[in-house]
Chain A
């Protein structure tokens, strides 16, 4: 029996050894296998941002930008993420929407800021979007639904109008599958707890969004693409119980009101 075991160990070592040694060879480059490289991703991201800003200008308020950047910084610092690796864009658009784009770009519509009842709710949405980023959900969705060759074409600037529109629609819809949404929620709850922000605010945001669905459907882009918001809110409340944290306010109510007022005034001017 000892001989059998010894042989087995040698055989296993041989198998894994060959595998390990072969994996040191850069087959991907040798066989010129196309991959969504960092370079392609950055080009794709630049293209998407340019297309988006053509129709929707940035909000253009330094104080609103700084306020949201502060929340992003708090979440990143608490979770060991390089804050400067995430680029935040606030676009002047009344729709309630937030999404991530390739190249670690996070886009918020001003309508979402106006809709949030507290900076903690906004932090909840940011945490959820950062979770999608950390798990590379956008990249996976694009590879699955658009395909590598098409993405490379778009990144190269050769996309026709219709293809471009389809990709834009896919990216701004933020419709991930159920599994990815759950993964992002779980991560967001942990992220918020580490930053000493109560995840209950994210659940409240989702509950409110699902309750108000019928009244202004056009604006509720986020809800249309996240149809199971109520279930998710309930699950967030469950997950929250596992975490320990001491909630610390993000900002004083006065600053938050002023920030919302400013966002609202920009929207009205539009």
Chain B
């Protein structure tokens, strides 16, 4: 996590709550939507669209959450596809498969923890920029 930026440093109470909610929503959806990763993505897109005209602080955090969800979606979708092949198709349970599912689990847990941390920090009006997703959000929001 990098240092807060000036522009994003002083949100009002309403903006802090909105920005925090974008992460909380992701946390809740991860808990229920993991078997169907598209659920997470749809929820993040809806939240992003609903807040695209909000203030800079809210928009920035909705975007950061969305880009994180997009990347997670592809990784999780591959895992779901592979698992479906094992359960319903002819694929076998191999070390590579188990390793992939464990890697997915590890990265999802990291994302989960990061989302909770970001929700708490943004609720207090503090800016949180994730590694990779933060700089990418910077490019997207400026663009």
Interface residues of A (CB under 8 A from B): 1, 3-4, 7-8, 10-11, 15, 18-28, 31, 33, 35-36, 140, 143-144
Contacts and interface: CB of A to CB of B under 8 A. Distances in A.
Given A18-B106, A22-B99, A23-B96, A143 B90 contact: yes
A28 B135 contact: no
For the complex of A and B, list the 5 residue pairs with the smallest distance between their C-beta atoms, beginning with the closest: A22-B99, A23-B99, A7-B132, A27-B98, A140-B90
A179 to B, nearest CB: 11
Contacts of B95: 23-28
Interface string B25-40: 0000000000000000
B131 interface: yes
A92 to B, nearest CB: 34
Contacts of B135: 3-4, 7
Interface in B61-91: 75, 89-90
Contacts of A20: 99
Given A15-B75, A15-B107, A144-B90, A4 B132 contact: yes
B92 A35 contact: yes
Given A8-B132, A31-B98, A33-B93, A18 B139 contact: no
25 contacts: A4-B132, A4-B135, A7-B131, A7-B132, A8-B136, A11-B132, A18-B103, A18-B107, A19-B99, A19-B103, A20-B99, A21-B99, A22-B102, A23-B95, A23-B99, A24-B95, A26-B95, A28-B95, A33-B93, A35-B92, A35-B93, A36-B92, A143-B90, A143-B92, A144-B90
A22 B139 contact: no
A215 to B, nearest CB: 36
Contacts of A28: 93-95, 98
B139 to A, nearest CB: 6
Interface in B85-127: 89-90, 92-96, 98-100, 102-103, 106-107
A106 to B, nearest CB: 21
B95 to A, nearest CB: 5
A19 B89 CA distance: 23
Given A4-B135, A28-B98, A15 B103 contact: yes
Contacts of B103: 15, 18-19, 22
A10 B139 CA distance: 18
A149 to B, nearest CB: 14
A40 to B, nearest CB: 13
Max chain A Cβ within 10 angstroms of own Cβ: one of B75, B90, B131: B90
B39 to A, nearest CB: 22
Given A18-B103, A22-B102, A25-B99, A4 B139 contact: yes
Nearest to B136: A4
Nearest to B94: A28
Contacts of A1: 139
A184 B15 CA distance: 62
Contacts of B107: 15, 18
Contacts of A24: 95
B100 to A, nearest CB: 6
Nearest to B103: A19
A96 B134 CA distance: 68
A105 to B, nearest CB: 20
A4 B103 CA distance: 22
A163 B93 CA distance: 25
Given A8-B136, A23-B95, A26-B95, 13 more contacts: A7-B136, A11-B131, A15-B107, A18-B103, A19-B103, A22-B103, A24-B95, A25-B95, A27-B95, A28-B93, A28-B98, A31-B98, A140-B90
